[in-house]
Amino acid sequence: MRVCFLGTASAEPTAEDGYTSFLIEAGSHLLLVDASGNAVQSLLRAGRDPLSLEILVLTHHHADHLGGYPSLLQSSSCLGRRQPLTVLCAEPCRTRVRGLHELLELDPPDCAFPVVLDESFRAPDLEIRLLPGNHSVPTSMVWVGDGQGCLLYSSDTAPGPAVAAAARGCGTLIHEATFPQAQAADPAHSGHSSALSAGRAAAAAGVSRLLLCHVGWRKYAYPAAVTEEASKAFAGEVLVPQPFRWYSL
């Protein structure tokens, strides 16, 4: 599997870094996890044809994860997409997605292709599962396996044992790191994790690699503090992926 982040920031983006979402390439499959910002432009910048997107996974209905969805559909339609797009999301995100379709006329004939809503995907060489997460609104963690390995994405999450349990057996954990541990008592951060919590989850899961995202860059003293804090709890490889760079897992 290969991943390419289109952004690694929290709901507070910077001039250089947009909201967290990422592409996964597994064999012939191309999937996008969360739709934020200008997803079509980001796909192009990542060197991929937006029309080759097969599956979109939506973790939850917060705007930094779902806000780019309508324009992804509209631009894909304008660019000539005709084949259905599979969109994986669980309730209540699914109801919000249906509401967006109604509000913004995102179904055929206004959109040139249909969306197929589902909650899991299985092909001989790819499996995607949505698992219940722990956030301020219902969210899904995302498990992706290609027969050779697997990764788990925590989505926005409060610290807890569920992430490590879901990631066990995987090589890579993709975990949010919204704030530094020193700010853990701030009630504004409830429903999210520190970099230290991400490191602890990676260590408990037994993965070999931790990719940090949903970073509240302004909350950390300096950029490298994000990985440094996670590395206090986790001895494996830790990085905040560089946006628009492909990484082989």
**CA nearest to 136, candidates 220, 57, 61:** 61
Rank residues 55 and 215 by Cβ distance to Zn ion and give the closer one.
Answer: 215
**CA nearest to 173, candidates 197, 189, 191:** 197
CA triple 25-30-35, angle to 5 deg? 110
* Span from 93-101, 153-161, 165-173, 196-204 in contact with Zn ion (CB under 5 A): 153-161
Instruction: Provide the residue type at 181 as one letter.
Output: Q
Rank residues 29 and 62 by Cβ distance to Zn ion and give the closer one.
Answer: 62
Q: Are strands 55-57 and 29-33 parallel, antiparallel or unpaired?
A: parallel
For the bound state, the minimum distance from the C-beta of residue 163 to Zn ion, rounded and expressed in Å, comes to: 15
Rank residues 76 and 194 by Cβ distance to Zn ion and give the closer one.
Answer: 194
For the bound state, the minimum distance from the C-beta of residue 19 to Zn ion, rounded and expressed in Å, comes to: 7
Residues in contact with Zn ion, total (CB under 5 A)?
A: 3
**Residues pairing with 235 in the sheet:** none
Rank residues 133 and 145 by Cβ distance to Zn ion and give the closer one.
Answer: 133
Collapse the DSSP code of 113 into the 3-class scheme (helix H, G, I; strand E, B; otherwise coil) and give the result: coil
Q: Residue from 17, 25, 34, 156 that binds Zn ion (CB under 5 A)?
A: 156
Rank residues 59 and 181 by Cβ distance to Zn ion and give the closer one.
Answer: 59
For the bound state, the minimum distance from the C-beta of residue 63 to Zn ion, rounded and expressed in Å, comes to: 9
For the bound state, the minimum distance from the C-beta of residue 105 to Zn ion, rounded and expressed in Å, comes to: 26
Is 34 a binding residue for Zn ion by CB under 5 A? The answer is no
For the bound state, the minimum distance from the C-beta of residue 191 to Zn ion, rounded and expressed in Å, comes to: 7
Residue 110: both structure tokens together: 């206004």
Rank residues 64 and 229 by Cβ distance to Zn ion and give the closer one.
Answer: 64
For the bound state, the minimum distance from the C-beta of residue 248 to Zn ion, rounded and expressed in Å, comes to: 26
Segment 49 to 78, residues that bind Zn ion, using CB under 5 A: 62, 64
C-beta separation of 203 from 174 below 8 A: no
Collapse the DSSP code of 69 into the 3-class scheme (helix H, G, I; strand E, B; otherwise coil) and give the result: helix
Residue with tokens 């997605």: 97
20 C-beta neighbours (distance < 10 Å), count = 31
* Span from 22-30, 50-58, 152-160, 230-238 in contact with Zn ion (CB under 5 A): 152-160
Beta-carbon contacts of residue 175 (< 8 Å; ≥ 6 apart): 153, 154, 157, 163, 193, 198, 201, 202, 210, 211, 212, 213
Query: In the complex, which residues of this chain contact Zn ion (CB under 5 A)?
Result: 62, 64, 156
